[in-house]
Amino acid sequence: MSDDLDYLEQAVDLARQNVEQGGRPFGAVLVKDGRVLARGVNEIHLNGDPSAHAELQAIRLASRELGPRLDGCVIYASGQPCPMCLAAMHMCGVTRVVFAAANAQGEPFGLSTAAVYQQMTLPLDQQALEIRHLPQAAMGDIYSRWKALNAAR
């Protein structure tokens, strides 16, 4: 538990520093086996990339060392991870996430993703984002080819 607090304080400090440098109040620290592998801050203000969230920046850096699987890693985040970041954590195998500020705390400042979480609980045809499925037969062959090429790896 004390390790959790130490790493979480590092993420909060990154958020503080990022605000002072003109960024959003988000920082993340990615740890495996007691070793910090990567740190990230929200960099949307630097490059206009809406996916440049602190957690994703840390995942990108750690993946350079470990590859696409981050099993056994823990992410410490200053704010509650948004659905995009949380999905990335699931996709790459992050084992645990610890965060400081919940969506409710960020809401008065326009820093909550609770509405996005809510949208994603709805069936596809009820979400605000128009989502259309147009099946393409060629995808079956493409998937089969991928599996054949990767079976030996």
Q: What are the tens digits of pLDDT across the range 81-138?
A: 999 999 999 999 999 999 999 999 999 999 999 999 999 999 999 999 999 999 999 9
Angle at 91 between CA 52 and CA 12, to 5 degrees: 45
Question: Which candidate in 9, 55, 65, 130 is catalytic?
Answer: 55
For 40-67, give one letter per residue: b (16+ CB within 10 A) or e.
Answer: bbbbeeeeeeeebbbbbbbbebbbeebe
State the pLDDT at residue 4: 96
How many domains does the chain fold into? 1
| CATH, residue 62 | 3.40.140.10
Q: Are strands 96-101 and 27-32 parallel, antiparallel or unpaired?
A: unpaired
**C-alpha to C-alpha distance for 123 and 108, rounded to whole angstroms:** 28
Q: Domain span at residue 117?
A: 1-151
| Residue 55 known to be catalytic | yes
State the pLDDT at residue 19: 98
Stated pTM of the model: 0.92
